[in-house]
């Protein structure tokens, strides 16, 4: 089954195995519910974990996994990404996962300028990393993005003059 990133482990919290997670999901309660299955990517190997508990603390989620209630067992996971199985039932009509943008062709005023290779997630707005003749970082905001057709892997943008070298 396809998986999506739901957060990044940024630190431990206390001595009882809690991990501090910077989330990247709109479905925190569902993804971190007791008994939910998450996957920690440790050096390219995904390890399945079962959520024992979660709580909120200073803008982060603190999660504890079954069988890992000791700081010595979880310290090695600092910096690792957390994945969950992709569940389209969580989405409303017309919604999509951010990862679905990867691979979309990007057109500036009808001209193909490249494909989305990555999405950088920030608090205020996300950035599309588009690679074609050159690498372009486009703020994923209404001011630049005119239309998106995720099903057909196409995004139409309107970039201002000087945003990238058109030659």
> pLDDT of 23-65, one tens digit each?
888 889 999 999 999 999 998 899 999 999 999 999 899 999 9
* Average of per-residue pLDDT across 140-163: 91
* Average of per-residue pLDDT across 53-80: 96
Task: Report, at the CATH architecture level, how domain 98-157 is classified.
Answer: Roll (2.30)
Pairing state between β 45-57 and 37-42: antiparallel
Q: To the nearest whole number, what is the mean pLDDT of the chain?
A: 91
CATH topology classification for 3-87: Elongation Factor Tu (Ef-tu); domain 3 (2.40.30)
Does the pLDDT at position 145 exceed 80? Answer: yes
Does the pLDDT at position 88 exceed 80? Answer: no
Q: What residues contact residue 113 under an 8 Å CB cut-off, 6+ apart?
A: 106, 107, 130, 132, 133, 136, 164
Distance CA 148, CA 33 (A): 32
pLDDT number for residue 136: 92
pLDDT number for residue 146: 95
The percent of residues in the chain predicted with pLDDT above 70, rounded, is 99
Does the pLDDT at position 167 exceed 70? Answer: no
Domain ranges of the chain: 3-87, 98-157
Distance CA 86, CA 97 (A): 9
Is the pTM of the predicted complex or chain greater than 0.75?
no
């Amino acid at each position: 089954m396809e998986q999506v990133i739901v957060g990044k482990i940024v630190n431990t919290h206390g001595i009882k195995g809690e991990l501090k997670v910077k989330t990247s999901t709109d479905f925190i309660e569902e993804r971190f519910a007791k008994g939910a299955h998450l996957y920690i990517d440790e050096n390219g190997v995904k390890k399945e974990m079962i959520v024992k508990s979660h709580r909120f603390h200073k803008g982060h989620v603190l999660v504890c996994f079954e069988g890992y209630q000791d700081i010595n067992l979880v310290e090695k996971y600092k910096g690792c990404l957390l994945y969950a199985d992709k569940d389209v039932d969580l989405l409303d009509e017309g919604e999509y996962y951010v990862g679905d943008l990867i691979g979309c062709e990007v057109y500036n005023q009808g001209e193909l300028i490249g494909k989305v290779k990555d999405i950088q997630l920030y608090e205020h707005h996300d950035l599309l990393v588009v690679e074609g003749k050159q690498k372009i970082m486009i703020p994923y905001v209404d001011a630049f993005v005119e239309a998106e057709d995720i099903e057909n892997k196409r995004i139409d943008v309107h970039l201002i003059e000087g945003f990238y070298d058109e030659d």
